[in-house]
Amino acid sequence: LCFRSVNNFLMTGPKAYLTYSSSVAAGAHSGMEECKFQFGWERWNCPESALQLSTHNRLRSATRETSFVHAISSAGVMYTLTRNCSLGDFESCGCDDSRNGRVGGRGWVWGGCSDNVEFGERVSKLFVDALETGHDTRALINLHNNEAGRLAVKATMKRACKCHGVSGSCSVQTCWLQLAEFREIGNYLKIKYDQAHKLEMDKRRMRAGNSADSRGATAETFHHVHPTELVFLEDSPDYCTRN
């Protein structure tokens, strides 16, 4: 693998793969464990086959369930990379202090050690989105849901603060952003799953395969979908009757 550097934290080539791959694998695993928790009492209970994310395998379908798999796995990878960065597990990567010293609001300023989600987002995108090598509608749907998972990590972040002042008066607070518990991200994405949008595609244009006409039909459809929403293309089977 050979990744181009997108900021000072990223490396290129085999070194990047060796440095981040264990965190990527751990993050994907935590995503699937969360998937199993969220669907533990439903007909579809996030089976082991759901671990396969490439568009060139058994997840070739684009159902509501696969939208969640892509989102929670992408979120898990970003979450783990971000946490490991903040803990100092990677060389030249630590917490995000880019806002420190700025006034954040009345009575508080940015400070402390914010979790470095920008780093986690960039590296996870390089690894996870690389699985989508096609340019057809299903690949674009998977990429959209990958991004929705990453945005869920950002959307659930919490502001933590520490008081400063004479005799504990808390006249000024120093605040930073930290990751939510991963369960909260899972709950957030489960709601997105319940509200997922089915894309109504122009079937005639889609049959063009990888042609520009097919991509144009897909782009027009995605224009009306918010990046935080999960999307799917096909109705799910009932998961009780053998195909």
Region 188-214: mean pLDDT is: 75
At which residue do the structure tokens 């695993």 appear? 29
Checking if the pLDDT of 31 tops 80, the result is yes
Rounded CA separation 230/201 (Å): 16
Region 221-229: mean pLDDT is: 84
Note whether residue 237 is domain-resident. no
* 3-state SS assignment for residue 78: helix
Which structure tokens are listed for 151?
């945005």
Region 185-198: mean pLDDT is: 97
Which structure tokens are listed for 226?
């918010």
Note whether residue 30 is domain-resident. yes
H helices present in the chain, as ranges: 13-38, 64-86, 117-128, 137-155, 182-194, 203-206, 212-222
Note whether residue 241 is domain-resident. no
Closest C-alpha to 74, from 118, 123, 36: 123
Classify the C-alpha dihedral 151-178-23-37 as positive or negative: negative
Note whether residue 99 is domain-resident. no
| Percent of the chain as helix, strand, coil, to the nearest 5 | 50, 10, 40
Note whether residue 168 is domain-resident. no
State the residue range of the domain holding 25: 13-94+116-157+181-232
- Is beta strand 172-178 parallel, antiparallel or unpaired with respect to 197-198? unpaired
Rounded CA separation 139/27 (Å): 21
Note whether residue 78 is domain-resident. yes
Count of domains forming the chain: 1
In this prediction the pTM is 0.84
Say what percent of the chain tops pLDDT 90. 45
Q: Averaging pLDDT over each range in 20-24, 50-54, 97-101, which range is the top one?
A: 20-24
- Is beta strand 108-110 parallel, antiparallel or unpaired with respect to 103-105? antiparallel
Note whether residue 195 is domain-resident. yes
> Is the model more confident about 170 or about 174?
174
Note whether residue 123 is domain-resident. yes
Rounded CA separation 223/197 (Å): 13
Average pLDDT, the chain: 82
Instruction: Give CA angle at 97 (95, 98), nearest 5°.
Output: 130
CB 79 within 8 A of CB 30: yes
Rounded CA separation 116/70 (Å): 22
Taking CA atoms, 19 is separated from 22, 81, 194, in Å, by 7, 11, 36
